[in-house]
Each structure stands twice: as C-alpha cells, then as structure tokens.
Amino acid sequence: MSSDFLQLDTPRLLLRPPRMEDFGPWSALLADAEASHFIGGPQPPALAWRGLMVMAGAWHLQGFAMFSVIEKASGRWIGRLGPWYPEGWPGTEVGWGLVRDSWGRGYATEGASAAMDWAFSTLGWTEVIHSIAPDNHASQAVARRLGSRNRGPGRLPPPFEDSPVEIWSQTRAEWSARLTAGLSMARSTS
C-alpha cells in the first residue's frame, strides 16, 4: 500500500505519514525531558533523526507506522501516534506521544481512535495493545477512554526489556461494539 497520499482526518487533527519537514518539531518533542519521558526519554537530534527514519522505513516496508499529527486549526505538527509493531513487540500497538502544550485537549484520544479504526479496518488487526508504564497515569486515562483494559504486566524487547510496562488492550470485536455505539471519529482519505 502506498502511503504517499494517505491521511486520516478527525474533527481537529490530520494524521499522515511523517515527512522530512517534520524533523524539527519531531526532534523538539524528543528533546523535551517531560514530553519524551515515557517514549524513550530525551534524545539528541542525531538520535531523533534516526527515529524519524525508522518510522519512514516502517511505512515503506510494512505499510504502516506512527502518523505525524497535525493540528488542523494551526497547521502545526504536534506529535506522533498510531500503529506500531516492531520485531519482538508484545502485540500490535497503537501508541501516542504529543508535545506538552497539546496535552489535556483530548488529541491523543481523538487521534488514537482514528488510528485504531484504520488498524482494524485497513490493516486487519484483531487486537490493539497500548504498552504503558505503570506510572503513566495520563496514558492510562487515554487507554480507558478508548475502551481498552489493563491486562497486566508485559515485557518489551531489548533494549527496553528493563522498562516496566502494563499491556492495555481490546479486540476488534470490542472496538466494533464501540463503533456501533457511535464513538468513531475517523474518516480515511487516500
């Protein structure tokens, strides 16, 4: 699947594959100690560049990876979120990481909802997980709003094997029941 023209639209966000123009704000997100605390910690620009290239490569080779999140009202890049399934990962994940000044606005829930719709309907995933640190209460709240439940401790592959995580998840059937209730926010265009 070509990702050149893929985008997901929500009421307030545009989700699209990362572009080279995203590197500045991507790097700033990963340099912010508080914002990057639960997504690998602060990284220098050279390491952030490698992370952006990994996402671009995953899009090219797997046909999916995290999206760049663009705030429609400002046109500003505000984070990355979406499907993620690297080698050794405990399951097919939809994760999120946003710049601090966008926290508390419901963007993570709105964007992750769109990404989950896409992962279930387009990628054919049967389950979505969120690997969340036990002390990441904000992400736990997002997972709850999405309808996911804490399934207990999980283990990430090296070099993250010493980072404690809990696996939050839900099945496609559970998600579909929520869609039937009218809770989907995504519209895919390509």
In this prediction the pTM is: 0.91
d(CA 120, CA 176): 9
Domain with residues 7-184, CATH architecture: 3-Layer(aba) Sandwich (3.40)
Give yes or no for a contact between 115 and 8, defined as CB atoms under 8 angstroms apart: yes
Q: Which two three-digit tokens encode residue 79?
A: 């984070």
Spatial CA neighbour of 67 closest among 6, 124, 21, 126: 6
Long-range residue pairs from 158-161, CB within 8 A, at least 24 positions apart, any chain: 158/88
Spatial CA neighbour of 36 closest among 95, 113, 93, 117: 95
* pLDDT mean across residues, the chain: 93
Q: Dump pLDDT digits (tens) for 118-148.
A: 999 999 999 999 999 999 999 999 999 999 9
Q: Dump pLDDT digits (tens) for 53-103.
A: 999 999 999 999 999 999 999 999 999 999 999 999 999 999 999 999 999
Q: Where are the domains of the chain?
A: 7-184
d(CA 91, CA 104): 27
